[in-house]
Amino acid sequence: MKIGMITDSLGALSFEAMLAAAAELKLETLEFACGNWSTAPHLDLGAMLDSVAARRDFAAKVADHGLAVAALNCSGNPLHPGPKGALHHRITLDTIRLASLMGVDRVVMMSGLPGGPGDANPNWIVTDWPPECLEIQRYQWEEKLIPYWRDLVAYANNLGIRKLCLELHGHQAVYNVHTLLKLRAAVGETVGANYDPSHPMWMNADPLAAVRALGPAIYYVHAKDTRIEPVPAGIDGTLEARPGERIAERSWNYITLGYGHGETWWRRFCTALRLAGYDDVLSIEHEDVMMSPLEGMRKSVELLRRVAINLA
């Protein structure tokens, strides 16, 4: 297994400073965000698309630090019923095109989430009641989600991209194993999982069981931890809409690796990945507001070095 990061984890650093920090951490791979929900702090999508020289210079600087580009990321909502949807769709297409031009075989993203009929905003249905919920869900999948993803898979395949790695995330149509496999069955095996265990943790799923269920559908892995806060969670449950900075009030928080689930758990997670046939990148995503990004990255890398399984 290789240890890498999505470079937004050190988003406050310049491109050159980020590369130097990644080399100092002895990372092996980097994942670059190209836009949508990310500000794309380290990659100018338009400039990279327009210039062979820009792409060569970018690749050379990454390689000069002993690093490789593992994936591009365009997480957003191209199915948003408002103007944002068209913008996110365009950036999604451009990211896939850039991946093709760079020889990067994976694009990390999310499924997107439509509204219901006539909605101005996305509508995340997580219950079968009241009765209109099932009709909204049918509309979203049959009339919006599946047609969109059939077209996107064809577009990606025409450019030689065979791995669109969907993060199973809240407020997305694809947010758990069941919905990932449902979309994959409808549109083909270009769609797989970017498995990030921090999301099923707060949704009260078992990431170890989920890895077993996904098996070869796992195309990429984000390494991120979640800590369930026992008192707020005991009072309110883990459906949580309080802002992320109100950490003392929330029922769960994203946290540096090892501070939500200990080393033993992460050892079991890597073992589950290997049993499922995954021997690839563990891309650290640091979103812990209680720890500085560099300190969080150091601690996360140290933990993964102790638990990652290497065949060589």
Confidence bin at 261 (pLDDT 50/70/90): very high
Please name the residue ranges forming H helices in 140-220: 146-158, 177-187, 198-202, 207-214
CA distances (Å), origin 59, targets 26, 34, 48, 51 = 18, 15, 11, 13
- How big is the chain, counted in residues? 312
Give residue limits of the domains in the chain. 2-307
Q: Is the dihedral of CA 36, 172, 279, 188 positive or negative?
A: negative
Confidence bin at 305 (pLDDT 50/70/90): very high
pLDDT at 186 over 80: yes
Q: What is the pLDDT of residue 312?
A: 61
Q: What is the pLDDT of residues 13-59, one digit of tens each?
A: 999 999 999 999 999 999 999 999 999 999 999 999 999 999 999 99
Kindly state the percentage of the chain with pLDDT values over 70: 100
Compute the average pLDDT of residues 132-154.
98
Q: What is the pLDDT of residues 119-140, one digit of tens each?
A: 999 999 999 999 999 999 999 9
Q: What is the pLDDT of residue 310?
A: 85
pTM reported for the whole predicted model = 0.97
pLDDT at 284 over 70: yes
Compute the average pLDDT of residues 298-304.
98
Q: How far apart are CA 218 and CA 230, in angstroms?
A: 31
Domain 2-307 class, CATH top level = alpha beta
